[in-house]
Amino acid sequence: MALLEISSLGKSYGKAEILKGIDLTVERGEILGLIGPTGSGKTTLLRLVNLLDEPSTGRILFEDREVSGRPEREKLSMRRKMAMVFQKPVMFKASVEENVSFGLRMRGKADAEEMRVRTKEALAAMGLPGYESRDANTLSGGEMQRIALARAWVLQPELLLLDEPTANLDPGSAASIDGLLQKLADSRTAVILATHNMQQCRKLADRVAVLQAGRLVAVGKSEEIALPW
């Protein structure tokens, strides 16, 4: 059973058709590279999977359960098995520790000590030990992106959605994020990595799905894929 199964998925805003007839599966522990030029619909697809938006057509099965059209309470419980990192990470006006532990606090399951320990571990894994008390909004772009990754990683999600996590970073910071993603590749978390960088896909992804103008034009091993642009 695939962790995520998408069939005939479509999304329109008014007359603009952003996604058309998407069929895709993601297995547990797999890293799927979602590659496509700007405006091809990568972010829209990730938002639909994360249940931030409702699809116009088609369906999404997560852990073999239909997710679209469900009441918000059910969507919330499914959303809590995923985490998404946006292209431009938003830092809440708080310390790094409060930012990283945000999702844990929302779930209310971990006590203060456990949250502190998990936050510390996540920050160490992202190469930011000792950053707990720093103001999150005073960090550099690369550091913010790593905090956003730590914030998602600390939740130990079944599915991690990454929307061009290195797009706005300098080469050094991007390489450091790639190293962190490599660590994720060794964990049991499934990852959808949206990017327009084929090199990054080849380095990190088990499979690659190619989006062009809202359509999925190819899915396969990265070495088998030839980009149409």
Binding site for another protein (CB under 8 A): 47, 50, 52, 72, 76, 79-80, 82-84, 86, 88-90, 92-93, 102-103, 106-107, 135, 137-138, 151-152, 155, 161
Closest CA to 162 of 75, 24, 33, 67: 33
Rank residues 87 and 212 by Cβ distance to another protein and give the closer one: 87
Say if residue 219 is exposed, middle or buried (CB neighbours under 10 Å; 0-12, 13-18, 19+). Answer: middle
Question: CB of residue 227 vs another protein: minimum separation in angstroms?
Answer: 29
Rank residues 83 and 184 by Cβ distance to another protein and give the closer one: 83
Question: CB of residue 107 vs another protein: minimum separation in angstroms?
Answer: 6
For residue 22, the SS3 value is strand
Question: CB of residue 148 vs another protein: minimum separation in angstroms?
Answer: 8
- Alpha carbon of residue 73 to chain centroid: 21
Rank residues 105 and 221 by Cβ distance to another protein and give the closer one: 105
Rank residues 107 and 221 by Cβ distance to another protein and give the closer one: 107
For the chain, the straight-line distance linking the first and the last C-alpha, in angstroms and rounded, comes to 33
Q: Would you state the structure tokens that stand for residue 11, as one six-digit string? A: 């999304």
Question: CB of residue 26 vs another protein: minimum separation in angstroms?
Answer: 17
Q: What is the DSSP letter of 103?
A: H
CB atoms within 10 A of CB 136: 23
Question: CB of residue 47 vs another protein: minimum separation in angstroms?
Answer: 8
- 39: Cα within 13 Å, side-chain hemisphere: 3
Rank residues 109 and 221 by Cβ distance to another protein and give the closer one: 109
The amino acid occupying position 81 is: K
